[in-house]
Amino acid sequence: MKNNNLKSLHGKSPVIGRNCFIAETCTIIGDVEIGNNCSIWYGAILRGDVGSIKIGDDSNIQDGAIVHSTYDISNVDIGRRVSIAHGAIIHGCIIENDVLVGMGAIIMDNAVLHSQCMIAAGAVVPANMICESGWIYAGIPAKKIKKLDMSKMADFFAATPENYKKYSKWYLDEGYGKSL
């Protein structure tokens, strides 16, 4: 059976890991590699047409998020246990492990989000910015606003990806989406 929301382009086809929830209305095109136990939610677009997109295990790309890059300038590399919230735009950047990108945030070309940092809802991380581990960034343009208490944050960084695996199962059990 052909999966209409997974599309090949220029000889490259999406590669989806085991136990992934792929919502019916998301679109995944071209040079996209998704790890195991990931979820790609309703209306999300992962467009690997002008650059590659790699997503590590246990990550989630929530409703309406867009993942893309700039031709000959950038690719997208998303680590493990990363949560990209509703309506975020991820454009040609590196996001290390255990990162939360808030709703409506924008991350631009060649920015680097180091492990265990948080980007607040609506923040804009400009091109080439480096976001340090252990900080919350907010604003337009994004700036460090608060040091995280890492003794309290370890469980938090694990909780959202685990919750999204649980939510995926709810939908799959009802016959929605696809498990690949």
Mind listing the pLDDT tens digit for each residue in 17-42? Answer: 999 999 999 999 999 999 999 999 99
pLDDT of residue 1: 34
Sign of the Cα torsion 97, 29, 35, 164 reads positive
177: pLDDT strictly greater than 90: no
Encode pLDDT of 151-169 as tens digits. Answer: 888 888 889 999 999 999 9
Task: Name the pLDDT band for 150 (thresholds 50, 70, 90).
Answer: confident
Provide, rounded to the nearest whole percent, the portion of the chain with pLDDT above 90. 90
Length of the chain: 180
CATH 1.10.150.20 fits 6-173, yes or no: no
Q: Is pTM, for the whole model, over 0.85?
A: yes
Domain boundaries, the chain: 6-173
Neighbour tally for 131: CB within 10 Å? 23
Provide, rounded to the nearest whole percent, the portion of the chain with pLDDT above 70. 98
2: pLDDT strictly greater than 70: no
Pick from 27-36, 51-60, 122-131, 153-162: least confident:
153-162
